[in-house]
A and B are shown apart, each in its own frame.
Chain A
Amino acid sequence: MAEIIQDIQEQEYIINMGPQHPSTHGVLRLVLSLRGETVLSVQPHCGYIHRGIEKMCERLTYQQIIHLTDRLDYLSAHINNHAVCMAVETALGIEIPERVKYIRTIMDELARIASHQLWWCSFGMDLGALTAFFYGLRDREPILDIFEESTGGRLIQSYYTPGGLMKDIHPDFQKRVKDYIIYFRKKIGEYDQLLSGNVIMNQRTQGIGKLTKEEAISFGVTGPSGRGSGFECDVRKHRPYGMYGKVEFKEILRSEGDAFARYMVRMDEMRESLNIIEQLIDNIPAGDFTVKMKPVIKLPEGEYYQRVEAARGEFGVFISSKGEKYPYRIKLRSPNFSNLSALHTMANGQKIADLVAIGASLDYVIPDIDR
């Protein structure tokens, strides 16, 4: 009898979390092996929403590619497009107008705030605080309105084109963004009151999902998740692009490396993004919103790489061109894929509820993982 009991105790309880599951944020499948409530191993199975975007890009012109990179990490659509546009512009050697750089930087930061707000929503929901979800969505709505007014799109905008922007900003843009900065500075305090200081939330996240700096570097965990472990990986700071070299902002770093550190990094980044926008919004110079481009762009033969800081980490575009109007090969370095690879290290030996909290603190977007 004792042997049977021991045998049962040593057996693993395999459970499929996903592809349809409320807290995998999309069609991600995690195969968990459990002993009781303790997670012994996590195996992510991706590919459920693989669309072959990299391959599709090989038969699309550079202007068309923009519409596909939108759909990778749809919450930082502007930022992904920024990378593609810059890669093409660098390859062609065009200098884009100052006005475009200002507008792109402001749009990027607005997208980052909106993305972090949605992360905050789902973070609360994954921990079981459903009210947080609605508070975050309430504050995200005005940003989407600002996007809609200028770009015509709310979630995916396809606003940037190689050489500039699709069209100029709406005349009300500056006023509405300034109003929003004042509005959100007040509202972000509510976030702290509702969730950041909550005892249950602190217990659920502090010391959970530890990732050391060395591990973060070896897995390539970037963005707020990497900076929560003390990995200085902010592309905006270390390889400035757009207007980032000319504005004052802090790179948020925390050394704990747990879920709470990743949470706090994102909270502080929202405030920092407001500061960046505030420095730029009044000084948008007059000028053209785009450079006159040929209808068919042909990149000179060669290989080009451009990286940007997306809301979830470093997003890179590698273009290999043979001098035709289509790229010969495109490789996208998506931040979520690398971040997901560290999940096993973080979740090993934790409880199921911790796995959900860790997943929430990594903030994965599945279309970005599968591409």
Chain B
Amino acid sequence: MEFNIYDFTSFTKWIDESLNAAMSPFWVMITEMAIIGVAILAFYALVGLFLVYAERKVCAFMQNRVGPNRVGPFGIFQTIADLLKLLMKELVYIKNADKLLFNIAPFIVITASFLAIAAIPFARGLHAIDFNIGIFYVVAVSSLGVIGILLAGWSSNSKYSLIGAMRSGAQIVSYELSVGLSLITMVVLAGSMQLSTIVEAQANGWFIFTGHVPAVIAFVIFLIASTAETNRGPFDLAEAESELTAGFHTEYSGIRFAFFFLAEYMNMFIVASIAATVFWGGWMPFHVPGWEGFNTVMDYIPPFIWYIGKTAVIIFILMLFKWTFPRLRIDQLLTLEWKYLLPINLFNVVLMAFIVLMGWHW
């Protein structure tokens, strides 16, 4: 077996072949599913913990504060300590709450973000599932989370939670359109919904550079709409702490609250990953056609680093949004979507289709 950090294909193939040599195809499938599941879970927990820490440091940096600095060097173990605290906390049950729905709501939210992570290409060959409707799948599963939020608000038997859930429903369902349409714009350019194909198509320049104006418009709209879809500030109306105390998760405590909390950060990671993959080339290094020397140097940086770097930049932009802007009002939020983003988006799809048909893209 050769292990190559520039291409994981041979490594995954080697795992598959050695398992096949040892057992029957059915058990191979079971084992591979278990391996992938464990890998995604571990990755999920690590990234979630790191993002919480990163957000606290970024917001502290913006607010003349130091941020967590007591637990471990530079406070890096702060989130782990927080998680342990949340694990040990009592799970409060609300009288007259719908027990079943109340219990499964956090799991629906967190499962939706698990499912989405499976389709993201982290590096060449490092990709849990790669199939021909990748983007469609990601958009579909990531919108399942709204069901969990609605259930949480409904089953809590609390008025603040219900208002938060209704807001969230209106918001996520509306902004789903913009997310989908801006991705469709890029699908028109790429000519495929398969995420690996989309990344490969950006070998000679990322789509944000090759896609002319429509790609840039689609990128901006995607950033706005995905911020709204992940319920982050300035679109955090569903929790709106100054209005609804904590919105849909007012009544949740302990590890159930941690699930909502973690899912929020992972959703941010997922939308940043998709933005990086579709607009900035995913793990594809920065290439300029014709500059052979430059391209070779860029290729020396492992794809995984490219992917993480791009995602981190987009996450940083999303954090800056949150800590700069005040919150919108619900009617202004829906006005922004239905009266501005959606018409621009529809026009943008047509424009992109026209550019692709005329062959004006590079």
**Interface contact A129-B163, CB-CB below 8 Å:** no
Within residues 349 to 364 of chain A, which ones have a CB less than 8 A from any CB in chain B? Answer: 351-354, 356
Interchain nearest-CB distance for B155 vs A (Å):
18
Given A127-B242, A128-B240, A200-B234; A354-B329 close (CB under 8 Å): yes
CB of B191 within 8 Å of the partner chain: no
**Interface contact B325-A129, CB-CB below 8 Å:** yes
**Cβ-defined partner of A203 (8 Å) among B64, B159, B332:** B332
**Interface contact B329-A353, CB-CB below 8 Å:** yes
**Interface contact B242-A351, CB-CB below 8 Å:** no
**Cβ-defined partner of B242 (8 Å) among A13, A23, A138, A201:** A23
Say whether chain A's binding surface is mostly helix, strand, loop, or mixed: helix
Chain A 16-41, CB within 8 Å of chain B: the 1/0 string? 00000111000000000000010000
**Interface contact B63-A128, CB-CB below 8 Å:** no
**Interface contact A353-B163, CB-CB below 8 Å:** no
Chain B 230-272, CB within 8 Å of chain A: the 1/0 string? 0001101100111111000000000000000000000000000
**Interface contact A130-B323, CB-CB below 8 Å:** yes
Which residues of A lie under 8 Å from residue B332 when comparing CB positions?
A: 200, 203-204
**Interface contact B243-A352, CB-CB below 8 Å:** yes
CB of A131 within 8 Å of the partner chain: yes
Rounded to whole angstroms, the CA-CA distance of A246 and B243 in the bound complex is: 44
**Interface contact A134-B159, CB-CB below 8 Å:** no
Within residues 144 to 169 of chain B, which ones have a CB less than 8 A from any CB in chain A? Answer: 159-160, 163, 167
Within residues 77 to 120 of chain A, which ones have a CB less than 8 A from any CB in chain B? Answer: none
Rounded to whole angstroms, the CA-CA distance of A15 and B331 in the bound complex is: 20
CB of A166 within 8 Å of the partner chain: no
Interchain nearest-CB distance for A7 vs B (Å):
19
CB of A144 within 8 Å of the partner chain: no
**Interface contact A128-B245, CB-CB below 8 Å:** no
**Cβ-defined partner of B323 (8 Å) among A15, A22, A131:** A131
Given A129-B325, A131-B323, A353-B243; A37-B163 close (CB under 8 Å): yes
**Chain A residue, CB-CB nearest to B327:** A128
Interchain nearest-CB distance for B97 vs A (Å):
18
CB of A135 within 8 Å of the partner chain: yes
Q: Report, as a range, how many residues of chain A touch the other chain.
A: 20 to 34
Interchain nearest-CB distance for A55 vs B (Å):
34
Which residues of B lie under 8 Å from residue A129 when comparing CB positions?
A: 324-327
Rounded to whole angstroms, the CA-CA distance of A124 and B324 in the bound complex is: 10
CB of B59 within 8 Å of the partner chain: yes
Which residues of A lie under 8 Å from residue B327 when comparing CB positions?
A: 127-129, 200, 204, 353
Rounded to whole angstroms, the CA-CA distance of A27 and B142 in the bound complex is: 40
**Interface contact B331-A198, CB-CB below 8 Å:** no
**Cβ-defined partner of A126 (8 Å) among B59, B236, B242, B323:** B242
**Interface contact B330-A37, CB-CB below 8 Å:** yes
**Interface contact B329-A124, CB-CB below 8 Å:** no
**Cβ-defined partner of A195 (8 Å) among B62, B234, B326:** B326
Rounded to whole angstroms, the CA-CA distance of A303 and B306 in the bound complex is: 79
**Chain B residue, CB-CB nearest to A357:** B329
Rounded to whole angstroms, the CA-CA distance of A106 and B78 in the bound complex is: 44
**Chain B residue, CB-CB nearest to A132:** B326
CB of B85 within 8 Å of the partner chain: no
**Interface contact A135-B329, CB-CB below 8 Å:** no
CB of B99 within 8 Å of the partner chain: no
Rounded to whole angstroms, the CA-CA distance of A135 and B63 in the bound complex is: 7
Given A201-B326, A352-B243; A131-B63 close (CB under 8 Å): yes
**Cβ-defined partner of A15 (8 Å) among B63, B160, B241, B329:** B160
CB of A125 within 8 Å of the partner chain: yes
**Interface contact A128-B242, CB-CB below 8 Å:** yes
Rounded to whole angstroms, the CA-CA distance of A13 and B161 in the bound complex is: 13
Which residues of B lie under 8 Å from residue A195 when comparing CB positions?
A: 326
Residue among B243, B244, B324, B330 facing the most chain A CB atoms (10 A cut-off): B243
Interchain nearest-CB distance for A335 vs B (Å):
23
Given A13-B159, A204-B326; A134-B64 close (CB under 8 Å): yes
CB of B140 within 8 Å of the partner chain: no
Rounded to whole angstroms, the CA-CA distance of A344 and B245 in the bound complex is: 21
Which residues of A lie under 8 Å from residue B329 when comparing CB positions?
A: 203-204, 351, 353-354
Given A124-B326, A351-B331; A134-B63 close (CB under 8 Å): yes
**Interface contact A200-B325, CB-CB below 8 Å:** yes
With A128-B233, A128-B326, A130-B233 given, can you name 20 additional A-B contacts, CB distance below 8 Å? Answer: A15-B163, A37-B330, A37-B331, A127-B242, A128-B234, A129-B324, A129-B325, A129-B326, A130-B63, A131-B59, A131-B62, A134-B63, A134-B64, A198-B325, A200-B234, A200-B325, A200-B332, A203-B332, A204-B328, A353-B327
Binding site for B on A (CB under 8 A): 13, 15, 21-23, 37, 124-131, 133-135, 138, 194-195, 198, 200-201, 203-204, 351-354, 356
Q: Identify 21 residue pairs between A and B in the complex whose beta-carbon atoms are under 8 Å apart, listed by A's number.
A: A15-B159, A15-B160, A15-B163, A22-B245, A37-B167, A125-B242, A127-B327, A128-B240, A129-B325, A129-B326, A134-B63, A194-B324, A198-B326, A200-B332, A203-B332, A204-B326, A352-B163, A353-B240, A353-B329, A354-B329, A356-B243
Binding site for A on B (CB under 8 A): 59, 62-65, 159-160, 163, 167, 233-234, 236-237, 240-245, 323-332
Closest 10 pairs (CB-CB, A-B) = A128-B327, A127-B326, A134-B63, A129-B326, A23-B242, A353-B329, A126-B242, A128-B326, A15-B159, A201-B326
